[in-house]
């Protein structure tokens, strides 16, 4: 017990099941780099207010760098009493540089430390995810640009409605992803708020320069209220909500493609790279990639709903319930990151069958055009034959947002401008 960071006052042993129950190192060790970065910045801040000498700072920074290197090299030795990444790093630091290691915790609590680590870690991940959203958008836009000539029925209620360009359908999904990208970028300033220097809850008593800490760690702003700084996890909720909505868009696109890849439709064939076979029905090529994209959506929504339940009813500031922020967040980050890459791969590699699409275009989908003709003419004239032309039908939809070629090209250029 004495080995524990907080064990000084404790004489009794922790129940072994409780010990395991309490331990988060198994999953929070993935924040090791963020934890070291935060600690190095804090050591420098302590030196600036005279709590550490420049020599002590150098020793601590050197020790922390070595601890970070051990994690990076995969040789960090976890000890049974390492409760979380914060205690593990501090324990190892003190092994390397002696009792001076403990001085790093002056005025700092794991409460402001963990909130800082989570935000730093998520900011890194969001950058990668942003690139993946752009990657997905790029392949959709490239395909849409190349396949503008393909016409197929557009569906409402899954009933054939009106002729559209295939590109228009692709770009309808791209438009959802475009706003997902925008929403993700809008989260960044609210993730990028520095909690460090909030202490346990009431603030830092050593006048550490939080402007300096924010600059060192690349935070855009500073938590203006220390109680909020240690107790807020809205940035996690917002990310989980973002992930739920983006996955919903991926799922709806996946559903279109699952339907279009059936023999009954035959509009697309997924590449072997993203399908699997059946163990008993040799004719099958199952769209497992798309089904998993659809399936993961429910799980990510569950992470979000579950964590909001965790927050509801918590008293102010830090409560251990907040440790439950990690697994849903990490799981959502992993799965949304993978989903974006898989979706990109599926779209980039599938075959599109313009002939099958054309065959699905039956004359009934021109019923609206015929009605439109009668809206302009009192009677049928000889020019009514012009109505029975799919290409003419899509070209009539030339107002902004329509499926005419010019308007599809406009969408391509709007999205390309956004991505460049």
Scan residues 31-90 and list those touching ligand ARG (CB under 6 A): 84, 86
Q: How far apart are CA 418 and CA 180, in angstroms?
A: 13
Q: What is the DSSP letter of 366?
A: G
Q: How far is the CB of 330 from ligand ARG (least distance, A)?
A: 12
* Burial class for 30, CB neighbours closer than 10 Å (0-12, 13-18, 19+): middle
Q: What is the 8-class DSSP label of residue 286? A: B
Q: What backbone phi and psi angles, to 5 degrees, belong to 65? A: -65, -40
Q: Does 114 bind ligand ARG (CB under 6 A)?
A: yes
217 versus 407: smaller Cβ distance to ligand ARG: 217
Taking CB under 6 A as the rule, does residue 192 contact ligand ARG? no
Q: Please tell me whether residue 23 binds ligand ARG under the rule CB under 6 A.
A: no
Q: Closest separation between CB of residue 22 and ligand ARG, Å?
A: 8
Question: Looking at the chain, how many residues does it have?
Answer: 420
How open is the CA angle 78-81-83, to the nearest 5 degrees?
85
Task: Give least dist CB 322 to ligand ARG, A.
Answer: 5
Buried b (16+ CB within 10 A) or exposed e, 99-117: ebbebbbbbbbbbbbbbbb
Question: Minimum Å distance from CB 188 to ligand ARG?
Answer: 22
Nearest to ligand ARG of 165, 326 (CB atom):
326
| Nearer of residues 269 and 310 to ligand ARG, judged by Cβ | 310
Residues 280 to 339: which contact ligand ARG by CB under 6 A? 318, 320, 322-323
Verify binding: residue 235, ligand ARG, rule CB under 6 A. Answer: no
Q: Which of 221, 278, 316, 413 is catalytic?
A: 278
Could you say which of 47, 57, 89, 111 contacts ligand ARG (CB under 6 A)? 111
Helix (H, G, I), strand (E, B) or coil at 233: coil
Q: Closest approach of Cβ 80 to ligand ARG, in Å?
A: 16
Q: Does 232 bind ligand ARG (CB under 6 A)?
A: no
- d(CA 221, CA 150) in angstroms, rounded, equals 49
Residue whose pair of structure tokens reads 């220390």 in the numeric block: 226
Interaction mask 260-279, ligand ARG, x per CB under 6 A: --------------------
The Cα angle at residue 248 between residues 247 and 249, in degrees rounded to 5: 90
Please indicate whether residue 420 is annotated as part of the active site.
no
Binding footprint of ligand ARG, residue count (CB under 6 A): 11
**Of the residues 32, 37, 92, 110, which one makes contact with ligand ARG according to CB under 6 A:** 110
Closer CB to ligand ARG, residue 86 or residue 210? Answer: 86
According to the binding rule CB under 6 A, does residue 236 interact with ligand ARG?
no
Active site residue 278: yes
* Nearest CA among 101, 91, 64 for reference residue 4: 91
Min CB(128)–ligand ARG separation in Å: 22
Min. distance of Cβ 199 from ligand ARG in angstroms? 11
Structure tokens at 86: 């914060």
| 34/346 with CB nearer ligand ARG | 34
d(C-alpha 353, C-alpha 120), whole Å: 46
Instruction: Report the C-alpha gap between 75 and 181 in whole angstroms.
Output: 37
Q: Strands 159-165 and 151-156: what pairing?
A: antiparallel
Token representation of residue 134: 């752009």
CA distance 120 to 101: 22
Catalytic residue among 24, 105, 132, 157: 157
Query: Can you give the binding site for ligand ARG, defined by CB under 6 A?
Result: 24, 28, 84, 86, 110-111, 114, 318, 320, 322-323
Q: Which residues are catalytic?
A: 157, 278
């Amino acid at each position: 017990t004495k080995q524990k960071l907080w064990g000084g006052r404790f004489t009794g042993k922790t129940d072994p099941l409780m010990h395991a129950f309490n331990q988060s190192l198994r999953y929070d060790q993935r924040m090791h780099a963020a934890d070291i970065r935060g600690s190095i910045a804090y050591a420098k801040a302590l030196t600036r207010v005279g709590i550490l000498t420049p020599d002590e700072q150098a020793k601590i920074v050197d020790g922390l760098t070595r601890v970070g290197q051990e994690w990076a090299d995969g040789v960090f030795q976890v000890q049974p009493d390492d409760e979380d990444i914060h205690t593990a790093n501090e324990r190892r630091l003190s092994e390397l540089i002696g009792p001076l290691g403990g001085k790093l915790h002056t005025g700092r609590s794991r409460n402001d430390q963990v909130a800082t680590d989570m935000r730093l870690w998520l900011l890194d991940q969001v950058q990668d995810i942003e690139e993946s959203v752009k990657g997905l958008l790029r392949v959709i836009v490239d395909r849409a640009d190349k396949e503008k000539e393909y016409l197929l029925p557009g569906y409402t209620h899954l009933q054939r409605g009106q002729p559209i360009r295939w590109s228009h359908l692709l770009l309808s999904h791209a438009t959802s992803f475009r706003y997902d990208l925008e929403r993700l970028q809008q989260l960044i300033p609210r993730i990028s708020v520095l909690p460090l220097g909030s202490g346990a809850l009431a603030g830092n008593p050593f006048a550490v320069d939080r402007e300096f800490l924010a600059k060192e760690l690349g935070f855009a702003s500073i938590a203006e209220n220390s109680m909020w700084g240690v107790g807020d996890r809205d940035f996690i909720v917002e990310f989980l909500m973002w992930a739920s909505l983006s996955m919903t868009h991926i799922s709806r696109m996946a559903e279109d493609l699952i339907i279009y890849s059936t023999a009954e439709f035959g509009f697309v064939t997924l590449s072997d790279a993203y399908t699997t076979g059946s163990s008993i029905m040799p004719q099958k090529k199952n769209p497992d990639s798309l089904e998993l994209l659809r399936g993961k959506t429910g799980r990510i929504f569950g992470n979000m709903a579950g964590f909001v339940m965790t927050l509801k009813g918590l008293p102010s500031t830090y409560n251990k319930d907040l440790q439950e922020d990690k697994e849903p967040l990490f799981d959502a980050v992993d799965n949304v990151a993978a989903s974006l890459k898989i979706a990109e791969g599926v779209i980039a590699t599938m075959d599109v069958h313009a002939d099958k699409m054309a065959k699905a275009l039956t004359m009934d989908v021109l019923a609206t055009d015929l009605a439109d003709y009668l809206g302009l003419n009192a009677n049928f004239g000889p020019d009514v034959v012009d109505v029975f032309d799919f290409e003419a039908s899509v070209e009539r939809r030339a107002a902004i947002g329509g499926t005419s070629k010019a308007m599809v090209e406009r969408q391509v250029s709007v999205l390309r401008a956004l991505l460049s």
